[in-house]
Structure 1
Amino acid sequence: MLIAGFPAGAFQTNCYVVAPAAGEECVIVDPGQDATQGVEELLREHRLKPVAVLLTHGHLDHVWSVAPVCGARDIPAWIHPDDRHLLSDPAAGWSGTSASLFGDLQLSEPDDVRELSDGAVLPLAGLEFVVDHTPGHTRGSVSFRLPGDAIMFAGDLLFAGSIGRTDLPGGDYATILRSLAAKCLTLPDDTVVLPGHGPQTTIGRERAANPYLKEAAPHAGPTRGI
């Protein structure tokens, strides 16, 4: 399997391309701010043909470039219905001063938007992506697993040493803890976690050292980060 990625834009959001091998069809995960050029470079380098964009959630740092990326290749975007409104109303995912920073930003849905559901299996680019609904960071957050739970695209559910913040609209700390327990802690320790920000990690490493995954979890989630 081929997985290549890069941190995009001011938010340093990890954008990934996933394919069975070079020269094959591929899927693009979370094309964020200024991701278009980086995506095109990876497609050329590995001779890939994209067939879909998968979105872990609707925050603008993950969906900023989805319309141009989908439009250039005439491919669909997949997102959970609870976050679909954020594709065209990015300020709704932020609050207070943060929301005002993006008040004039104009984003739009791609022409072809398809909705994700918990437990769905998406056969794309010769691979099977298992969808897990993992609310808490946003109401429509999802993660994607393949194959045989060896790899997890976690979005902003789980990071190396931390978890996604829960103080933005649609976020909820108790909910994200339930998502982590149900969708992360049930996975094998050697599952590779490819997060929305920062370095990759494993479920075993986070189970052992991540304070938010410990039995005595803090009473409040992080209030900094993305």
Structure 2
Amino acid sequence: MLIAGFPAGAFQTNCYLVASAPGSDAVVIDPGQDAAPQVRAALAEYSLTPVAVFLTHGHLDHTWNAQELADEFSMPVYIHADDRPMLTDPGMGIGSALSSMIGDLEFVEPEKVIEFVDGEDVDVAGLRWSVDHAPGHSRGSVLLTPDVPADPDTGETVSVCFSGDVLFNGSIGRTDLPGGSHQRLLDSIAAKLLPREDDQVILPGHGPQTTIGAERTGNPFLVDLPDIKKKGRFGL
């Protein structure tokens, strides 16, 4: 699997392009402010054809260039229903303190929007993506986990999850914006992330990558969550 990522915009939001291989179809994840030129450059570099935009949530720093790219390449934008209203009214997700960054800009929905559903599998760009609703940072935050095919030479696989702003390297998403809830975020992490294997790679919305194992043992925000080093222990 090919993953090309880069930070973009004032908030240095990680945007990712994901494809099964160079020269194939690709998904664009979280094209935020000023991401579009770098997305176009990466598409050309790897000879990729973009077929969908996936949004981990509706905050403007993750969605700013979604409509531009989606309509340019005639591809749908996927987002959870709870965050869809932010596509046309981003101010509702960032609060009055940050709304000044929008100014007089107007935002419209892409021509085609598809709503993520918790627990569904979405087949896009030659990959099957598992969707997990994980509210707390925003009402409609989701975790996106592609079913990565085994390396044909070694037989090895690397499990990857795009966590948006749910979980970071050494931290968690902020919960002081409209729709945020600290307890709901911790509940989402405990239920949807910590039961996963230690070696699962987490590719977050900001900052460097990490693993479930590293966050389970070293993330100070998770110390009071249930000890679930064995998969499936949560809630049993």
DSSP 3-state at the match of 1:78: strand
- Identical aligned residues as a percent: 54
Q: Please name the residue that 1:99 is paired with.
A: 99
How large is the Cα RMSD of the aligned pairs?
1.3
CA distance in 2, matches of 1:28, 1:96: 29
CA contact (8 A) 2:190 2:225 kept: no
Q: Please name the residue that 2:20 is paired with.
A: 20
For the 8 Å contact 2:93–2:177, the answer to whether it is kept is yes
Which residue matches 2:182?
Answer: 173
**Counterpart among 184, 192, 204 of residue 201 in structure 2:** 192
Of structures 1 and 2, the larger Rg is shown by 2
Q: Which residue of 2 aligns with 1:221?
A: none
Secondary structure of the 2:175 match is coil
The alignment of Structure 1 onto Structure 2 pairs a total of residues equal to 217
1:199 partner amino acid = P
Quick one: distance in 2 between partners of 1:47 and 1:77? Answer: 21
What do residues 29-64 of structure 1 show as CA deviations (whole Å, max 9, x unaligned)? 000001110000010000001110000000000000
- Quick one: which of 218, 224, 233 aligns to 1:209? 218
Give the aligned residue type for 1:141. Answer: S
SS of match in other structure, 2:107: coil
Give the alignment of 1:47-126 within 5 angstroms: 47-126=47-126
Q: Which runs of 4+ in 1 moved over 6 A?
A: none
| Within-5 A mapping of 1:3-42 | 3-42=3-42
Distance 1:153 1:10 in 2: 21
Q: CA offsets per residue over residues 192-225 of structure 1, 9 Å max, x none?
A: 00000000000000001001111269xxxxxxxx
CA–CA distance in 1 between the matches of 2:204 and 2:183?
Answer: 20
Query: Residue type matched to 2:219 in 1?
Result: N
Unaligned runs of 5+ in 1: 218-226
Letter in structure 2 aligned against 1:19: A
Query: 2:136–2:179: 8 Å Cα contact kept in structure 1?
Result: yes
- CA distance, structure 2, for counterparts of residue 214 and residue 108 of structure 1: 41
Residue 119 to residue 103, structure 1, CA distance change in 2 (3 Å): same
Q: SS at the partner of 2:106?
A: coil
TM-score by length of 2: 0.89
1:155 maps onto 2:161 in alignment: no
Cα distance in 1 for residues equivalent to 2:165 and 2:90: 16
> How far did 1:105 drift?
2.5
Q: Is the 1:32–1:63 Cα contact (8 Å) retained in structure 2? A: yes
Residue number in structure 1 paired with 2:230:
none
How far apart, in 1, do the equivalents of 2:13 and 2:174 lie?
15
Q: Secondary structure at the match of 2:138?
A: coil
Taking the aligned partners of 1:185 and 1:163, their CA distance within structure 2 comes to 13
> Any unmatched runs of 5+ in structure 2?
149-157, 227-236
Specify the code of the residue in structure 2 equivalent to 1:12: Q
**Are the counterparts in 2 of residues 93 and 99 from structure 1 also a CA contact under 8 Å?**
no
| Shift of residue 147, structure 1, vs aligned partner | 2.0
Q: 1:208 to 1:114 in 2, by over 3 A?
A: same
SS in 2 for 1:34: coil
SS state at 1:95 partner: helix
2:142 alignment counterpart: 142
SS of residue in 2 equivalent to 1:185: coil
TM-score of the two chains, using structure 1 as the length reference: 0.93
Q: In structure 1, give the amino acid aligned to 2:170.
A: G
